[in-house]
């Protein structure tokens, strides 16, 4: 079925953001780096995709994340991190980066409480005021008052030293990313300019002293130069982002779940246009300049780069596996059985089994999404006992 046409208000909203970006391009002398365009398209105050009020998650939005399918994903993550929180003892905290609709926090907190591992504080780092309010409303309705009182929203990383667990689901893919191109063996950066038709177009400029060595590092690991004309994404700032978002974490673990590839897969010769794409109404589009503010922009994660960033930030590597392996190793079978035992009828049990299939089968999220973990002065290897893929990194 085709989606209904966009409303006049939605189109006017997109036009306001388009005009705002055009003005910034003019102020910058006619071009801005692609990462800056992506930042504005996603996060411009009041206008960006994640900053405005349109529904993002679930069937009524543009895409479905694992927590939106039901509670099983969050409960398995709770099973994985509960031993860490218990090991840390009183005062242990959880920091969720990018809280989405609040579905994950609601289900994870409830299950952590059932496991006698509820954190002293559950902080959500959420830059979008609109999403914060949606999260607050959902959590207040679903959680007992005493548990809801432990939730706090942050504008940035934890302000003080802390012990606990940082969790981020589908966050790294939404970090504004530079785009590069190989021309004559040299590294160029993709910039965005105003197009004659009122839209946007790209141009290339010599890459800076941060992007060039990052691309050459990829080439050294490949064992061969990237082909002429090759375009892709690369986040040279990822190590700094991991250090910043972890803040003053003294003891604890980091867990990231996202879609992507190891470096050898990410920068294959035949993936010569990169992984950048847009999501709008559950449809994938290569036109990342269409409908600014109304569509999500995303690039797959280089998990080798994330492994380098985590260990470079002073954490020990804990494990890397597919989402399916992470869930299977953290009792999704037991959680399914528990929910089936309480299900009202066969239709409810069928829905639960469908949820498991979407989360774990290769045709769903099971292989496209991966999980990577890090630890500092705690045991977190237990979360990755099934399906270790670290040899691929």
* Model pLDDT, residue 5: 81
Output the CA angle 375-316-100, nearest 5 degrees: 45
Q: For 259-283, how does the pLDDT look when each residue is reduced to its tens digit (9 = 90+)? A: 999 999 999 999 999 999 998 876 8
Confidence bin at 4 (pLDDT 50/70/90): low
Encode 8-36: b = buried (16+ Cβ within 10 Å), e = exposed: eeeeebbebbbebbbeebeeeeebbbbbb
Q: Is residue 318 part of a domain?
A: yes
Q: What range does the domain containing 338 cover? A: 8-393
* Model pLDDT, residue 1: 44
* Model pLDDT, residue 271: 97
* Model pLDDT, residue 58: 45
Q: Is residue 134 part of a domain?
A: yes
C-alpha distances (whole Å) from 71 to each of 38, 183, 372 are 31, 48, 21
Q: What is the mean pLDDT of residues 360-376?
A: 96
Q: What is the mean pLDDT of residues 167-196?
A: 97
Q: What is the mean pLDDT of residues 176-187?
A: 98
* Model pLDDT, residue 286: 85
Q: What is the mean pLDDT of residues 43-48?
A: 92
* Model pLDDT, residue 57: 44
In CATH, what number is assigned to the domain containing residue 312? 3.40.50.12710
Q: For 15-42, how does the pLDDT look when each residue is reduced to its tens digit (9 = 90+)? A: 999 999 999 999 999 999 999 999 999 9
Structure-block tokens of residue 48: 């960006």
Q: Is residue 159 part of a domain?
A: yes
Question: Do the strands 186-194 and 200-206 form a parallel or antiparallel pair, or are they unpaired?
Answer: antiparallel
Q: How many domains does the chain fold into?
A: 1
* Model pLDDT, residue 56: 46
Q: For 288-325, how does the pLDDT look when each residue is reduced to its tens digit (9 = 90+)? A: 999 999 999 999 999 999 999 999 999 999 999 999 99
Q: Token pair 């959590």 is at which residue?
A: 139
Q: What average pLDDT is seen over the chain? A: 94
Q: Does residue 217 have a pLDDT over 50?
A: yes
Q: What is the mean pLDDT of residues 358-364?
A: 95
* Model pLDDT, residue 61: 46
Q: Is residue 3 part of a domain?
A: no
Structure-block tokens of residue 374: 């890090």
Q: Is the dihedral of CA 229, 230, 233, 239 positive or negative?
A: negative
% of residues, the chain, pLDDT over 70: 96
Q: Is residue 2 part of a domain?
A: no
Q: What is the mean pLDDT of residues 101-128?
A: 97
Output the CA angle 198-204-210, nearest 5 degrees: 125
Q: For 227-251, how does the pLDDT look when each residue is reduced to its tens digit (9 = 90+)? A: 999 999 999 999 999 999 999 999 9
Q: How far apart are CA 297 and CA 277, in angstroms?
A: 6
Q: How far apart are CA 106 and CA 93, in angstroms?
A: 15
The alpha carbons of the chain give a radius of gyration, in whole angstroms, of 21
Q: What is the mean pLDDT of residues 78-107?
A: 97
Name the burial class of residue 68, with classes exposed (0-12), middle (13-18) and buried (19+) by CB atoms within 10 angstroms of its CB: middle
């Amino acid at each position: 079925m085709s989606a209904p046409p966009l409303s006049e208000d939605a189109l006017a909203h997109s036009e306001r953001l388009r005009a705002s970006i055009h003005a910034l391009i003019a102020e910058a002398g006619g071009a801005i780096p692609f990462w800056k365009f992506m930042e504005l398209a996603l996060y411009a105050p009041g206008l960006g995709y994640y900053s405005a009020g349109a529904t993002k998650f679930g069937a009524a939005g543009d895409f479905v994340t694992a927590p939106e399918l039901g509670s099983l994903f969050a409960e398995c993550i709770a099973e994985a991190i509960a031993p860490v929180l218990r090991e840390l003892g009183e005062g242990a905290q959880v920091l969720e980066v990018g809280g989405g609709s609040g579905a994950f926090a609601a289900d994870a907190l409830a299950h952590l409480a059932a496991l006698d591992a509820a954190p002293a504080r559950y902080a959500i780092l959420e830059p979008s005021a609109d999403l914060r309010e949606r999260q607050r409303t959902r959590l207040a309705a679903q959680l007992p008052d005493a548990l809801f009182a432990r939730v706090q929203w942050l504008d940035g990383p934890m302000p003080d030293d802390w012990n606990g667990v940082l969790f981020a689901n589908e966050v790294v893919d939404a970090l504004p990313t530079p785009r590069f191109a190989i021309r004559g063996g040299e590294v160029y950066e993709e910039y965005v300019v105003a197009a004659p038709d009122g839209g946007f177009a790209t141009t290339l400029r010599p890459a800076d002293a941060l992007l060039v060595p990052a691309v050459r590092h990829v080439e050294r690991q490949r064992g061969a130069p990237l082909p002429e004309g090759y375009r892709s994404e690369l986040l040279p700032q990822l190590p700094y982002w991991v250090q910043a978002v972890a803040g003053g974490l003294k003891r604890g673990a980091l867990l990231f779940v996202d879609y992507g590839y190891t470096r050898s897969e990410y920068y294959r010769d035949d993936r010569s246009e990169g992984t950048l794409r847009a999501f709008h109404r559950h449809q994938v589009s290569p036109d990342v300049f269409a409908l600014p503010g109304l569509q999500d922009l995303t690039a797959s994660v280089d998990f080798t780069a994330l492994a380098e960033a985590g260990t470079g930030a002073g954490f020990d590597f804990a494990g890397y596996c597919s989402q399916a392996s992470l869930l299977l190793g953290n009792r999704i079978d037991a959680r399914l059985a528990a929910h089936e035992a309480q299900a009202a009828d066969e239709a409810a049990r069928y829905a639960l089994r469908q949820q498991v299939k979407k989360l774990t089968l290769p045709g769903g999220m099971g292989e496209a999404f991966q999980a990577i973990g890090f630890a500092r002065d705690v045991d977190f290897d237990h979360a990755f006992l099934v399906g270790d893929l670290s040899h691929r990194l």
